Amino acid sequence: MKEANILKSYELAKERYAAIGVDTDKAIAELEKQQISLHCWQTDDVSGFENDGSLTGGIQATGNYPGRARNIDEVRKDLEFVKTLLAGNHRVNLHEIYGDFGGKFVDRDQVGVEHFQSWIDWAKANNFKLDFNSTSFSHPKSGDLSLSNPDKSIRDFWIEHTIRCRKIADAMGKAQNDPCIMNIWVHDGQKDYTVNRKKYREILAESLDTILKEDMPGMKSCVEAKLFGIGLESYTVGSMDFFEGYCATRKVIYTLDTGHYEPTENVADKVSSLLLYVPELMLHVSRPVRWDSDHVTIMNDMTLDFFKELVRADGLNRAHVGLDYFDASINRIGAYIIGTRATQKCILSALLEPLAKLRELEAAGKGFQKLALLEEAKTLPFGAVFDYFNYKNGVPVGEEFIPAIEQYEKDVTSKR
């Protein structure tokens, strides 16, 4: 895109937004500060480096587009390239199975900081901050129940794993001088009618209490609620109700994955209630298509509404934004960029809402005027602001990232 056109369009857009009381420079500055945690598992379809076993735990990556990252160097190379196409400084979200195990098998109850030292060094060298996840899936002991398993030996194995993961996250946070956000998602559930529903939930709460007992200043823990997993359709131990109650009473961060609710449920409306009772939110921005399919995030109504609600609830600074999808059917790097940029678009769109005016109108009972302004805001020159944001940060504007990714595919991923 021509530089002069980007600048001219932005000047006009800025003026147009100013007329309804919105400062576009301020919105851009806020968006620049907003880190997005890039989920490492988009590079390799949630495989990791522990072994060649299949993906279990009720999640599935569909498709076999060529070029997935096969080892730690390829994952890092892909992430370094992704970074060149994104405005802002971002984070990398690692799962335990992405440890640097040096070709040896390291079981989950044996993992330690040493297996992530090279990640800590790499992150520092590449100006990334790290986030972390314990991994309860894709393991012989995963079964249907991990932390909620009545069998003490299995439960203790997963408790040990998760405590070790917290220590790794703590070390990451201390090394980067910024808390590492560690997510705990367990797939625990049942395929068919479950009668001891309360029992497993009691056990899960107890296990989590044990895991979270020690305060670790370098990290923050969060727990992820879910509707159901494949093969675990009838019962999910860590349901939304379970984790809402847990997070509210224990003051733990609630992980809200936008794919983890009934397809017709309004995910955006959860934000303002959760923020009243839980300390912070961790977001897994995803796109469910009929189910928790983890399609690539796009700028759709759900994602737009979601970020608008966050901004309207003054909650953006209480939310850690991360992505969670894994589409193996298209170019994986392209999927990253589409999803991250879509998330940035939705955040920007929320920041550009004429909120002060809308609030004023609502308070004055001016329903028609409020609806009219909401409608008109939809066709304001948003694109010119987003283009300028990317231009200002020296990354491709508009569709210009497409050839860059094609080139990387030609040079790198197609040769894998």
Catalytic residue (one of 226, 295, 308, 320):
226
* Cα first-last separation, the chain: 32
Q: Is 3 a catalytic residue?
A: no
| Farthest-apart Cα atoms in the chain, separation | 67
CB nearer to ligand RNT: give 38 or 395.
38
Catalytic residue (one of 294, 309, 327, 409):
294
Q: Is 260 a catalytic residue?
A: yes
CB nearer to Zn ion: give 218 or 238.
238
- For residue 281, give both structure tokens: 């939110």
Q: Contacts with ligand RNT in 157-196 (CB under 6 A)? A: 185
Q: Of 107, 84, 163, 99, give the one whose Cα is nearest residue 130.
A: 99
Instruction: In angstroms, give the least distance from the CB of 399 to ligand RNT.
Output: 29
Q: Judged by CB under 6 A, does residue 41 bind ligand RNT?
A: yes
Length of the chain: 416
Q: Judged by CB under 6 A, does residue 295 bind ligand RNT?
A: no
Instruction: In angstroms, give the least distance from the CB of 37 to Zn ion.
Output: 11
Q: Judged by CB under 6 A, does residue 292 bind ligand RNT?
A: yes
Q: Judged by CB under 6 A, does residue 284 bind ligand RNT?
A: yes
Q: Is 309 a catalytic residue?
A: no
Residue 222 · residue 182 · CB < 8 Å: yes
Q: What is the dihedral of CA 271, 275, 279, 283, to 10 degrees?
A: 10
Q: Contacts with Zn ion in 225-284 (CB under 5 A)? A: 257, 284
Angle (CA) 234 244 250, round 5°: 125
Q: Judged by CB under 6 A, does residue 224 bind ligand RNT?
A: yes
Question: Could you give the CA distance from residue 362 to residue 76 in angstroms, rounded to a whole number?
Answer: 49
**Amino acid at site 121:** D
Q: Which of 44, 96, 257, 353 binds ligand RNT (CB under 6 A)?
A: 257
CB nearer to ligand RNT: give 59 or 328.
59
Q: Judged by CB under 6 A, does residue 68 bind ligand RNT?
A: no
Interacting residues of 238 by C-beta distance below 8 A, sequence separation 6+: 185, 186, 188, 204, 223, 224, 225, 226
Residue 398 · residue 1 · CB < 8 Å: yes
Task: Kindly tell me the burial class for residue 378, based on how many C-beta atoms sit within 10 Å of its own C-beta (0-12, 13-18, 19 or more).
Answer: exposed
CB nearer to ligand RNT: give 234 or 407.
234
Q: What are the residues binding Zn ion (CB under 5 A)?
A: 257, 284, 324
What are the residues binding ligand RNT (CB under 6 A)? Answer: 41, 46, 59, 133, 185, 224, 226, 257, 284, 292, 324
Which residues participate in catalysis according to the annotation?
Answer: 185, 224, 226, 257, 260, 284, 292, 294, 324
